[in-house]
């Protein structure tokens, strides 16, 4: 039994979603709230797409295509093929079933429903019982300044240009978290920063006005998305080197979160140089559901020792 009655989990896409799935297995649903990055959101084919919210929702509902890392199981891409024939943009693939999510969201937003409310509706419909909160109801977009291609919106940088080297990361647009986000943080007795990219998944959330200050009042633990000098997924290792000047390591992640986290969970063998911070060493690469639950239990037990 976890002593925590209200755990708030900050998440980006796939890595965060998998540990969140572990948390969902070991905590009562009313004790778990996710605050999800929406800096990756964009308009594609005239639709409002929220990739991290959808990855979280599909993972918790068991609908995710785990091997692809995004989108739905048993997906087809016939709409995309036709879009290609029409000469439309096909560099970002919306699956045929996935389209239902984006169409429902787009219609609701157009009718004046908030992103928070439509996310709750979508989650309920697919059986997700935990509270899943977008960080923001208004657009706040992650812009990547690159050496090679200038400034790119996040998805163009990641998917269209395949993550060219990063000069700087900026967030443009709204600066305020929703009241639901503030309320969730206020009543939380534990905050977990998922093993997501700190620069483009966690920073968009914690740089919202007043959020970092509120989080710093709480017990915050982070998982390192760097394992043995390498990013578990994506371009993070290169970003750490260019943005912080440090080698890609859990120490660089700890330095990034300095003053915010009370402890870190790192891969076996990665704790040595992290002398200033309590840490828990374990296997952080998550396999299936049981492994995610195992890691979630360890994170909660570690956090309990930090209290």
**Which of 143, 159, 163, 216 touches ligand FO1 (CB under 6 A)?**
159
The yes or no reply on residue 203 touching ligand FO1 (CB under 6 A) is no
- By CB under 6 A, what part of segment 59-118 binds ligand FO1? 70-71, 92-94, 98
Q: What is the rounded distance in angstroms from the CA atom of residue 264 to the CA atom of residue 229?
A: 16
CB of 195 to ligand FO1, least distance (A): 12
CB of 1 to ligand FO1, least distance (A): 32
80 vs 280, beta carbon nearer ligand FO1: 80
Span from 152-160, 179-187, 211-219, 241-249 in contact with ligand FO1 (CB under 6 A): 152-160
Sequence-distant (6+) residues with CB within 8 A of 232 are: 15, 195, 225, 226, 284, 285
CB of 273 to ligand FO1, least distance (A): 28
Sequence-distant (6+) residues with CB within 8 A of 99 are: 47, 79
* HSE-up (13 A, CA, CB side) for residue 48: 19
CB of 111 to ligand FO1, least distance (A): 22
51 vs 263, beta carbon nearer ligand FO1: 51
How many other β-carbons are positioned within 10 Å of the β-carbon of residue 154?
Answer: 21
Instruction: Write down the residue that tokens 């260019």 correspond to.
Output: 242
Minimal CA–CA distance to 8: which of 36, 43, 41, 33? 33
CB of 239 to ligand FO1, least distance (A): 13
22 vs 204, beta carbon nearer ligand FO1: 204
The yes or no reply on residue 54 touching ligand FO1 (CB under 6 A) is yes
CB of 40 to ligand FO1, least distance (A): 4
The yes or no reply on residue 52 touching ligand FO1 (CB under 6 A) is yes
**Which of 7, 13, 34, 274 touches ligand FO1 (CB under 6 A)?**
13
**Which of 155, 178, 249, 251 touches ligand FO1 (CB under 6 A)?**
155
54 vs 281, beta carbon nearer ligand FO1: 54
The yes or no reply on residue 202 touching ligand FO1 (CB under 6 A) is no
Q: What is the rounded distance in angstroms from the CA atom of residue 152 to the CA atom of residue 281?
A: 37
Tokens of 23: 């948390």
Q: Give the helix/strand (H/E) hosting 55.
A: helix 51-61
CB of 297 to ligand FO1, least distance (A): 25
3-state secondary structure 10-44: EECCHHHHHHHHHHHHHCCHHHEEEEECCCCCEEE
How many other β-carbons are positioned within 10 Å of the β-carbon of residue 25?
Answer: 15
Total interface residues for ligand FO1 by CB under 6 A: 16
Helix and strand numbers (H, E) in the chain are 12, 14
Site string for ligand FO1, 29-48 (x = CB under 6 A): -----------x--------
Cβ–Cβ < 8 Å for 50, 114: no
The yes or no reply on residue 153 touching ligand FO1 (CB under 6 A) is no
Minimal CA–CA distance to 179: which of 35, 292, 45, 3? 35
Which residues here bind ligand FO1, judged by CB under 6 A? 12-13, 40, 51-52, 54-55, 70-71, 92-94, 98, 155, 158-159
């Amino acid at each position: 039994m976890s002593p925590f009655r209200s755990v708030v989990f900050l998440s980006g896409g796939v890595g965060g979603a998998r540990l969140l799935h572990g948390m969902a297995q070991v905590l009562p649903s009313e004790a778990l709230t996710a605050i999800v990055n929406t800096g990756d959101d964009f308009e594609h084919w005239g639709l409002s797409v929220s990739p991290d919210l959808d990855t979280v929702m599909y993972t918790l509902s068991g609908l995710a295509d785990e091997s692809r890392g995004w989108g739905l199981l048993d997906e087809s891409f016939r709409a995309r093929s036709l879009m290609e024939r029409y000469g439309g943009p096909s560099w970002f693939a919306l699956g045929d079933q996935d389209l239902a999510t984006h169409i429902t969201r787009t219609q609701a937003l157009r009718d004046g429903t908030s992103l928070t409310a439509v996310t709750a509706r979508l989650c309920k419909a697919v059986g997700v019982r935990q509270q899943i909160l977008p960080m923001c109801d208004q657009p706040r977009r992650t812009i990547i300044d690159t050496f090679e291609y200038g400034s790119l919106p996040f998805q163009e940088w990641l998917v269209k240009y395949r993550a060219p080297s990063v000069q700087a990361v900026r967030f443009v647009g709204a600066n305020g978290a929703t009241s639901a986000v503030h309320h969730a943080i206020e009543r939380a007795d534990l905050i977990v920063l998922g093993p997501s990219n700190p620069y483009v998944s966690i920073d968009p959330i914690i740089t919202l006005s007043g959020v970092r200050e509120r989080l710093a009042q709480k017990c915050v633990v982070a998982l390192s998305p760097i394992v043995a000098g390498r990013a578990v997924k994506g371009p993070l290792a290169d970003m750490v080197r260019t943005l912080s000047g440090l080698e890609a390591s859990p120490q660089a992640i700890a330095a990034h979160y300095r003053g915010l986290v009370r402890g870190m969970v790192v891969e076996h063998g990665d704790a040595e140089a992290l002398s200033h911070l309590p840490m828990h060493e374990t296997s952080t690469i998550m396999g299936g559901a049981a492994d995610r639950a195992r890691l979630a239990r360890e994170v909660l037990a570690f956090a309990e020792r930090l209290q």
